[in-house]
Amino acid sequence: MIINLNGWPGVGKLTVGLELAELLGARLLDNHSLLNIAIALTDYPGPAYYEAAGALRDIAFRYARALPPGTPLILTSVNASGGPGGFAAEHWAAVRDLAQARGVPLISITLECSPDERARRVVEPVRRVSRKLRDPAVIERMVIGRALFDDGADYRLAVDTTHRDAKTSAGIIAAWIRDTVAAV
């Protein structure tokens, strides 16, 4: 299966993804593993950035297609409408194509969080090391002006991480996958 953790910056995609990967014996490909190379070597946002990000994703997905059939893959992203360059829609199409190429279900998990908690989390210093967005005002403008999407996912679940740690959130997701997806 491919599990895509989608949500606004600060909801806990990477921290939940790390816990979920451990619970499911999955591989985790965090969006910043790819985007940070493009950020470091090009001007964001700009044509070279989107070209580099797309090329890096294509390389990573080539290797993801070659994973053993029973190996779950967890991805993280902000799949949201209205972003610059149409990259989010292109990226989501590539994720759907990857699931189809692997012949596995595509599971979309939308992580949610209260605005106050999200604002508290995004300013944490560790986000700077990962080159993650750290300005709460910018994120709030994103939330107001854009909408998360997961069209074409085979299964969907929303999990509020506001008052849950990553381990608890991952446990909820893993149990839901076992009860819902694995039962099919």
Is the separation of the CB atoms in 133 and 122 below 8 Å? yes
The range of the structural domain enclosing residue 65 comes to: 2-179
Q: What is the CATH number of the domain that holds 175?
A: 3.40.50.300
Task: Work out the pLDDT band at 127, boundaries 50, 70, 90.
Answer: low
Closest CA to 42 of 55, 60, 29: 55
DSSP annotation string for 133-162: ---HHHHHHHHHH--B--TT-SEEEEEE-T
Classify residue 34: in a domain, yes or no: yes
Task: Work out the pLDDT band at 112, boundaries 50, 70, 90.
Answer: very high
Where does the chain have alpha helices with state H? 13-24, 31-41, 47-65, 87-102, 115-122, 126-129, 136-145, 166-176
Region label for 152, one of left (φ > 0), alpha (ψ between -120 and 50) or beta (otherwise): left
pLDDT in tens, 60-102: 999 999 999 899 999 999 999 987 778 899 999 999 999 999 9
Classify residue 80: in a domain, yes or no: yes
Classify residue 38: in a domain, yes or no: yes
Is the separation of the CB atoms in 85 and 50 below 8 Å? yes
Is the separation of the CB atoms in 153 and 4 below 8 Å? yes
- Considering 39-48, 117-126, 144-153, the range whose residues carry the highest mean pLDDT is 144-153
Q: Is the pLDDT of residue 111 over 90?
A: yes
Classify residue 18: in a domain, yes or no: yes
pLDDT in tens, 19-73: 999 999 999 999 988 888 998 999 988 899 999 999 999 999 999 999 998 999 9
Classify residue 184: in a domain, yes or no: no
Question: Three-state SS for 112?
Answer: strand
Domain count of the fold of the chain: 1
Q: Which residue has the higher pLDDT, 130 or 50?
A: 50
Give me the chain's average pLDDT, please: 92
